[in-house]
Amino acid sequence: MPKKVEKAKGVAKKTAKSASAGKSSSKKATKKIEKVEEEIMLQPPRGMRDLLPGEQPYWAQLRRVASKLGHEYGFQRIDTPVVEYANLYTRSIGEGTDIVDKEMYTFTTRGGDKVALRPEFTAGLCRAYIQHGMNVLPKPVKLFSIGPVYRYDRPQEGRYREHWQANFDIFGEQDAVLDAQVIQLAHRVVTSLGIKNVQFQINSIGCPKCRNEYQDLLVAYLESKKQKLCQNCKKRLETNPLRVLDCKEDKCMQVAANAPQSVDHLCNECHVHFKSLLEYLDELDLPYVINPRLVRGLSYYSKTVFEIWSGDEEGKKHSLGGGGRYDYLVETLGGEHTPAMGFGLGLDRLVAEMKRVKAKTYVEPKPKVFLAQLGDLAKKKSLKLFSELQKNGILVAESFGRGSLKSQLRVADRLGVEVTLIVGQKEALDETAIMKDMVSGTQENVSHEKLVNAVKKILKNNVVVSNNVL
């Protein structure tokens, strides 16, 4: 055999071997990829959850009440992004707060921007107020928001890492009457949900002018009791001493009980403002107590701060939300000096409280008309009829997926409708429908053109209009 032929065969064998080796290595690589492929977790991340259809009546009631009362008080809806630049929150909420130090979801985008999931609404609202020139609008500017917020906090009962809030904010007025109106609105929202045993915790933490002097007194007192404070509060003493008053540790609460009170060290302006607020609340006959240890967890608050609590038979208190005045936040973020006041409600906690007190939920309007069909052509015609009836404000139920007429009529009977419309093959060809009055038992054939009026007549103009809930 010629050497060239032998050489060629050798090359062919090597090529075949390398090809088969490539295939086997490819198979091995595929197997490796299959081995390292992560299992899909059929659950959301810890601290987050689905709001299932069975829960929605509570949430629908919440959204309906909050939106309705917000509108009555002159608030306009605004939606801000869930993701903002992280420094918006570090600048506004402040270093040394739990939110900034421990609880923010921050990450860097592919483009290199450091962003955060919003931990609260107010900073984003102030950013929008400045960006869109709302300072030229007639005052006060009243804004309402609703949506999820995110905090990497330890999940517990009523507190989730993704939770929902409704926020009401007023920009451009510093009169204490606005503080009272905001508290009145919070009271109306909560009590309108069926939660009656409500109390407001109120305090004034002063303005920068008088707070610095008070903070010096507080730090001097806390330094003398430093050994009795928890480790967190020892750190707070350096970064955010007011937060020591808000600590829930027993030993810190004992220290805070004898601490200087901010209301005793207000400047004249803050004193007059707080006195006026209390007079307004007395006039409104709203249930409140002055809590000298209430400071709220955010650095931007000034003057009025408050929280909303409900209580049960055992005396246990449940926090439902809170807020306060933040007269210097817009200015801190680069806008002009703009006094502001607002509050947020924790919707997850409100739902839990509604369940606890067995509050009424939103009830969707029930259909009074059922549309049954038999056959493919009847389905096509029924789709159009369904649309026409809905356009005319008649809420209609149907069961397009059910094959037998008998099973569809069972659904109609279960729903307790007043009128059943039946479209079969003959009716589809004639463009008519059998209209049966379920109350009297009478029935007749009606053309498509006359069907809407005929149904309205049977219902005696008692038309059920489907309500869209935000």
CA dihedral (461, 462, 466, 469) positive or negative: positive
pLDDT score of 466 more than 50: no
Query: Using CA atoms in the order 270, 273, 275, 276, what is the torsion angle rounded to 10 degrees?
Result: 170
Q: Which CATH number do you get for residue 139? A: 3.30.930.10
| 47 dihedral zone (left: phi>0; alpha: psi -120 to 50; beta) | left
For position 4, what pLDDT does the model report?
47
pLDDT at 35: 57
**pLDDT for residue 413:** 86
Single-letter residue type at 160: Y
Q: What is the pLDDT of residue 190?
A: 96
Q: What is the band of 180 on the pLDDT scale with cuts at 50, 70, 90?
A: very high
Is pLDDT larger for residue 193 or for residue 319?
Answer: 193
Q: Is residue 214 part of a domain?
A: no
104 shares its domain with 183: yes
Give pLDDT, residue 34: 55
Q: Are 139 and 105 in contact (CB under 8 A)?
A: no
Which residue among 325, 356, 387 closes a domain? 356
Is the pLDDT score of 468 beyond 70?
Answer: no
Could you tell me the pLDDT band of residue 465, with boundaries at 50, 70 and 90?
Answer: very low
Residue 248 has pLDDT above 90, yes or no: no
What stretch of H or E contains 188?
helix 176-192
Residue 149: how many CB atoms within 10 A of its CB?
Answer: 20
pLDDT digits (tens, 9 = 90+) for 392-404: 888 999 888 766 8
Cα separations in angstroms, 338 against 144, 256, 323: 18, 32, 17
pLDDT greater than 50 at residue 260:
yes
Is 302 domain-assigned? yes
Within this chain, do residues 178 and 279 fall inside the same structural domain, yes or no? Answer: yes
Number of domains in the chain: 2
Residue 142 lies in a domain: yes
CATH assignment of the domain containing 425: 3.40.50.800
> 125 falls in which pLDDT band (50, 70, 90)?
very high
Distance CA 419, CA 77 (A): 39
Instruction: Report the pLDDT averaged over residues 190-204.
Output: 94
Helices 122-131 and 86-93: crossing angle, nearest 10°?
A: 110
Residue 434 located in a structural domain:
yes
Is the per-residue pLDDT at 283 higher than 80? Answer: yes
Of 279, 69, 266, 270, nearest to 180 (Cα)?
279
By mean pLDDT, which of 8-22, 196-210, 241-255, 342-356 is the weakest? 8-22
Mean pLDDT of 131-138: 96
- 281, 189: one domain: yes
Residues 184 and 289 in one domain: yes
More confident residue, 248 or 266: 266
Within-domain flag for 35: no
285 and 379 assigned to the same domain: no
Q: How far is CA 383 from CA 372, 373, 374, 397, 405, in A?
A: 11, 10, 12, 12, 16
Say if residue 192 is in the same domain as residue 322. yes
Q: Are residues 272 and 321 in the same domain?
A: yes
Note whether 282 and 289 are within 8 A (CB): no
How much is the mean pLDDT over the chain? 86
Token digits for 274?
A: 């707080």
pTM for the structure as a whole: 0.81
50-64, 124-138, 386-400: least confident range: 386-400
Residue 294 placed within a domain: yes
Are residues 343 and 296 part of one domain?
yes
Average pLDDT over residues 153-157: 74
Per-residue pLDDT, 293: 87
Q: Quote the CA–CA distance of 195 and 356 in Å, as a whole number.
A: 9
Highest mean pLDDT among 5-19, 92-106, 207-221, 264-278: 264-278
Token pair belonging to 224 = 């003398």
pLDDT band at residue 358, thresholds of 50, 70 and 90? very high
| pLDDT of 343 strictly over 60 | yes
Residue 36 has what pLDDT? 67
Angle in degrees, CA 173, 268, 242, rounded to 5: 80
Q: Tokens representing 427?
A: 């009716």
Contact 459, 467 (CB under 8 A): no
Does residue 348 form part of some domain?
yes
The answer to whether the CB of 121 falls within 8 A of the CB of 115 is no
Of 305, 331, 356, which one is at a domain's C-terminal end? 356
Residues above pLDDT 90, as percent of the chain: 49
Categorize the per-residue pLDDT at 467 as very low, low, confident or very high, splitting at 50, 70 and 90. Answer: very low
Q: What is the pLDDT of residue 336?
A: 95
pLDDT of amino acid 308: 95
Instruction: Give yes or no for residue 241 having a pLDDT over 90.
Output: no
The verdict on 171 and 310 lying in the same domain is: yes
Amino acid 92: pLDDT? 83
The answer to whether residue 22 is domain-embedded is: no
Same domain, 294 and 416: no
Q: Same domain for 333 and 373?
A: no
Q: Mark which of 356, 390, 415 sits at the end of a domain.
A: 356
Q: What percent of the chain clears pLDDT 70, i.e. is strictly above it?
A: 87
Residue 225 pLDDT > 90, yes or no? no
Mean pLDDT over residues 323-342, rounded?
A: 95
**Can you give the residue range of the structural domain that contains 322?**
53-207+267-356
Q: How many whole angstroms separate alpha carbon 163 and alpha carbon 7?
A: 74
Name the residue with tokens 């479209």. 423
Range with lowest mean pLDDT among 12-16, 191-195, 220-224, 246-250 = 12-16
Predicted confidence (pLDDT) at residue 105 exceeds the cutoff of 70: yes
Distance (Å) of CA 152 to CA 20, 118, 195, 414: 52, 11, 29, 46
Is residue 80 located within the same domain as residue 135?
Answer: yes
339 — pLDDT class (breaks 50, 70, 90)? very high
Judged against a pLDDT cut of 90, whether residue 414 lies above it is answered with no
